[in-house]
Structure 1
């Protein structure tokens, strides 16, 4: 009997804020494997802010997500059938098989992972793309020195939480920016940051100034908007800013900087980056991050939605900050 594959397609471009109407759940029969192919039963889907940018048909660092095709996204799962000599049934793999129950691949971009000491889902978080993003932005752009102050926006999220913990390991004062008192408590009490500023409290700059009495030497930016404005105003001379995400601009009109002149007067290094363009660092970063997770020296948290059909709503909730830590969808 032919087995069906459930998939979520992007069927329209958002006009303003994204909505569940931009997606459609479909069922398609699974075709027999061709020579060199393998089939993966996805266990977890990764939901990440970059996906919102890919929904637009506009100039960016990557091509837009095509309409009427499976929504792009990272996955971890188990090989259930293989005609590819590099993979065997039972292998656990990480890749980009998208929002669907089953992925069929020729093996390109798939990597076998070891779940002996690292949970499978962690390969979509601290030991995956978010973790490497944090590692690269901190170590290669901010390049922290002991005693410096490093600020991280979206500090309770999948990327920001790793940045702050690595900054602490480098001997820095780590200051997070997060939304709400619960997230700020988690950032300080569980992740070990020195301080956390609640941007929803209404006095962002004043609170950030109090948390950074010696100014800011390094800033890892996930948000943009007023958070970037406030932190720019606290930057020390020769500070470094790693631009990872600008989620404040994803659903609306771009927000202009209030104080762009500070980049000149403070002689700042401001570097945007896309971690997939720096594959040369992935082995080192993943080895270090995997060891820290296995030794329980790197804390992470997951928000897990159940079932493929929950992915669109979970994705939209993540864009509004409703998740806590890494947002995943559990399929099995």
Structure 2
């Protein structure tokens, strides 16, 4: 009984202290607010900024001259270039979209660049040196379907997204060694050569139409996350998946049987669709799932048999998602 009373009293004291702290924080916030609000210059500046934001939120068309003179240009989150004139503006935000190719882009400040076009005939043919060396994230939109070559993508790019219309062969040195995250669009379905994806890439995502054999050493030994789209339905061989891969994701439409000991023991997260062993045609064999795996997920519209002895003892999380 005494312990119970002590516990209740302790909780009341803690709650009281929290209430006092909350009141003190509120009081400090109130004092700070009125210090700012009673400053005529700051109050007018706040009103002016809010007024400008409300009048210009969304999209606004502006000339490059107007961009240079606009004193609120630091608030611009993204610019879409729609002219083909030389870009001479002294200011650009970090995010740029280009619809028609200017003669040059500023060689500083741009971190994220999207090459886009609303019309197929206006698609950009990018030459080596056009993309500034400050760009770290590069995205080609769904109309871009021209061959790449060495030098088009600068060595500064770490995130590369190829649009849904891109379906060109990838040659060695087309991609710089700086790339860490590589995403292919839905249309890409070309065989990959050894060395075409540079060593250093950490994550590779293939689009929905990709369905090509994965030969040994095509996926670089640096890759730790590998995702295949819904059309991929090729057999894996020993060496297809490097020992560096920790996360492997296969779509719910993958129907091939993976032989024992083909998947590397580096894999800790494995996603498999239920078509993989649908209708109990064949049960999962022992040593198919690597003993290193700690998270296993099945997704699909069909049930199938799982022998508990085939599930590695290290599995901490087993998900079985069934949908109609």
TM-score between both structures, scaled by the size of structure 2? 0.27
Which structure has the bigger radius of gyration? 2
Higher relative contact order (CA 8 A, sep 6+): 1
TM-score between both structures, scaled by the size of structure 1? 0.27
Q: Which has the higher helix share?
A: 1
